[in-house]
A and B are shown apart, each in its own frame.
Chain A
Amino acid sequence: MIEAQNLTKRYGRTAAVDRISFTVRPGLVTGFLGPNGAGKSTTMRMIMGLDRPTAGTVRVNGRPYGQLKRPLHQVGAVLEVRAVHGGRSAYHHLLCLAQSNGIGKRRVHEVLGTVGLTDVAGQRAKAFSLGMSQRLGVAAALLGDPGVLVCDEPVNGLDPEGIRWIRTLLRRLAAEGRTVLVSSHLMSEMALTADHLLVIGKGRILADGSMGSVISRVASTTVTIASPRMDDLLPLLRGAGATVRSSGPQDAQITGISGARVGDLAASASIPIHRLDEAGPSLEEAFMELTSGSVQFPASGGSGQ
């Protein structure tokens, strides 16, 4: 369980994180979403006691991180890809972290096996690929078999196989009853991994709810239609409350109306329909809608990232 209350971090006059409150619950993967610079990493560093909040508190299992004794047994974190001394072997990196919390060598070998680094455990971390470094970070997080996991952009730079591996791992850890907080700006990935969403923009919480509720709250179903008589059809649909998102001479995308209703209306007016598709809103659309006002450097004419 992670609980933040009015958590604030200011750098000079800029608030990187602005009085946010949230709770991350066990048994779910909570996705922490936001554009670059929204305050995700700062929040995660405050959770881990690395940055001091300017105001407010954040507690892990009921305590500020700095008060936890041998915290690897309670919290595992993957905060940066390479929070590793490159001159040290993977084995010794894990060993020194394990020893500091009274964890034995057997467990070090176990986590090396879990992340598939056993064969390269003696190599210096400097020589590791991005994917291997990421696995080493995950191994460190798992050392103490913690009930809480905090991962900042864990799939950044990973190949598809590595991404799938992380996703499966995080989902399994949550299913085992652990609290899992994972940040990302990759919507498609988050849509597959997270159960619960925490959306942040310009340091404020924009949405906090289940994946389904957040998406349906901010974005709606899109109906794609194709017809040789669009000019007759569109006024009819507008009259029924539809909003036309885009339209061509023979096709259009509309929202605010169900596919079934479109079909019924067309049939009653004897307008032929060549295509009728209904697509639920995507997380990406919901995210863009939510964060449209809070992107730091919006691309003109485009949709951000």
Chain B
Amino acid sequence: MTTPAATAAAPGAATTIGLANVVRSEWTKLRSVRSTRWISVLTVLAALVPGAVICARWVAGFRAGQESRLGFDAALTSLTGIYLAQIAVGALGVLVISSEYSTGMIRASLSAVPQRRALLAVKAGVFALAAFAGGELLSFITFGIGQAILHGAQAGLSLGSGPALRAAFGGGLYLTAVGLLGFGFGALVRSSAGALSAFYGLLFASTAVLDLLPTRWRNDLIRFMPANSGSQIFTTVRGHDALAPWAGIFVFCCYVAVVLAAAFVLVARRDA
């Protein structure tokens, strides 16, 4: 063995956790598992392909004179793939934390960093930054490809217009928030299957539950549902029963904040 003889009660006590160390560690964790790469590839495909295909169909429709340009949302059309990509990003958010519990890795992680809330915060932060960087890049590229295609029928937008820029930026922002929602459920539920169900349940099934309410209430509430509210940030034509873009993403972030807050409260209390 190459270790030097240790002093018996090696105090060697550091006085700080060293958050930069934990950030490096979490970045290594994120990039060193295959699931991250696979899901990233899926996210890219899910975002790029549908937008391009649908933009091309609109262009064909415009040229043939079959489609009206009235109320056409060029930004949203090019970013259609975000709806699909959110499924993958959310799953990644869930797995980043739930896989630590399902594999037992969490016990090694907590032995190395017993400050649980700090560990969870850094893990969430590293994932959010990665999702934001990747999400923005992907959203702008998707937007660019879509608009280039739409230009074929003079229906494209340029980033020079305020709403267009906000929508392209908003696509990445929404993906990041969805990823964090998945992360929150992963940390809260801890089993991958359970967390994925809860995540998809809130994102997609919550609207179905609203149908149980009287129609008037339902129509008042539907705009506040997670997917409906959050996705307004990448639209440029506002639906009549929709929230405004920034109000929408704010409502969505409130859902994320509630789930994350619950996860942070419980992580320090529960047995690992």
Contact = CB atoms under 8 A, between A and B. Distances in A.
Interface of A: 1, 26-27, 45, 48-52, 61, 65-75, 77, 79-80, 82-89, 92-93, 95-102, 110, 113-114, 140, 142, 145-148, 169, 172, 176-179
Contact of A80 (B11, B17, B104): B104
Contact of A69 (B16, B28, B106, B107): B16
A65 B112 CA distance: 10
User: Secondary structure at chain B's binding surface: helix, strand, loop or mixed?
Assistant: loop
B107 A96 contact: no
Contact of A178 (B6, B11, B26): B6
Nearest to B270: A52
Nearest to B28: A96
B5 A84 contact: no
A147 B104 contact: no
B272 A101 contact: no
Nearest to A101: B112
A137 to B, nearest CB: 8
B13 A101 contact: no
B111 A75 contact: yes
Contacts of B112: 71-72, 97, 100-101
B14 interface: yes
Interface in B1-41: 1-18, 21-22, 24-26, 28-29, 32-35
Contact of A73 (B10, B99, B107): B10
Nearest to A26: B8
B108 A52 contact: no
Given A99-B25, A100-B22, A85 B6 contact: no
Interface in B55-104: 99-100, 103-104
Which 3 pairs show the lowest CB-CB distances between chains A and B?
A147-B10, A100-B25, A92-B32
Nearest to B30: A96
B206 interface: no
Contacts of B10: 61, 73-74, 145-148
A95 B28 contact: yes
Contacts, number: 159
Interface of B: 1-18, 21-22, 24-26, 28-29, 32-35, 99-100, 103-116, 269, 271-272
7 contacts: A67-B114, A89-B32, A95-B32, A100-B26, A101-B113, A102-B14, A146-B6
A152 B63 CA distance: 72
Given A101-B113, A148-B10, 4 more contacts: A49-B114, A75-B111, A85-B29, A147-B9
A66 B105 CA distance: 18
Contacts of B4: 145
A69 B272 contact: no
Given A51-B272, A88-B32, A83 B15 contact: no
A69 B13 CA distance: 7
Nearest to A169: B1
Contacts of A87: 33-35, 99
Contacts of B26: 96, 100
B5 A51 contact: no
Given A50-B110, A146-B10, A110 B2 contact: yes
Nearest to B20: A102
B107 A79 contact: yes
A113 B2 CA distance: 9
A99 B21 contact: yes
B271 A73 contact: no
